[in-house]
Amino acid sequence: MRKIPLGADEILFVKGKAGVLAIAKVGTQREFLVETPEKEIFLFASPEDLIVASGFYASLNASDSKSSNNSSENGGNSGESEVKKRAAENALLRGLKCVIFMLRELNSPLIVLPKGHPATKRLRTVVSVGKRIVLSCEITPGTHPEQHLLCSPSEFNGVEILAYKGGVLFKGLSDAVSLERVSLN
């Protein structure tokens, strides 16, 4: 188990090789709307509950590996590939921060797609809200209204994320990931 302090005005990035998690406190007592194909669900959350967004590098990695293979075959340098990787990571971090901002500040609903929807193959980020969230790489992104379950890259499979006053607790999180806390502002 790992306990990490997390204030109401902070976001915690958990960076792995295949993706990133972004975690923030809900901040104030509120309700979120979960929009499913069948109905609208009201989800009540307390200030210490968590918003967890999961982001995937998958669609960028395919093009990066092709270009790095071409570079090395043509005598190119690996520095160019590293720059592309950092740019992709920075874009994903900004996107995840934006997703959390849209939920917390703009009251955007959580949208659940029907199973088999073509957009599920193109989702780069998915999000859940709650006191306890379990990560899984064995579910289809964006199709689960249950807010305790969140699709993630395989390196986070089975990790349990729990809210506690003033922080976040991880069960099953690898030491190989890097953690970075930043201001939400």
DSSP string, the chain: -EEEE--TTEEEEEE-SSEEEEEEE--SSEEEEEE-SS-EEEEEE-TT-EEEEEEE-HHHHHHHHHHHHHHHHTT--HHHHHHHHHHHHHHHHHHHHHHHHHHHHH-PPEE-PPTT-GGGGT-SEEEEEESEEEEESSS-TT----TTEEE--GGGTT-EEEEETTEEEEES--TTSEEEEEE--
- Render pLDDT for 13-58 as a digit per residue (tens, 0 to 9): 999 998 999 999 999 999 999 999 999 999 999 999 999 999 998 5
State mean pLDDT over 6-18: 95
State mean pLDDT over 100-117: 92
Residue with the larger pLDDT of the pair 185 and 22: 22
- Render pLDDT for 51-97 as a digit per residue (tens, 0 to 9): 999 999 854 444 344 444 444 444 456 788 888 888 888 999 999 99
pLDDT greater than 60 at residue 12: yes
pLDDT given at position 146: 83
Structure tokens at 163: 């809210």
pLDDT given at position 36: 93
- What is the amino acid identity at position 60? L
pLDDT given at position 38: 93
- pTM score, two decimals? 0.86
Mean pLDDT, rounded, of the chain = 87
Residue 22 and residue 28: Cα distance in Å, rounded? 18
Closest CA to 103 of 60, 50, 170: 50
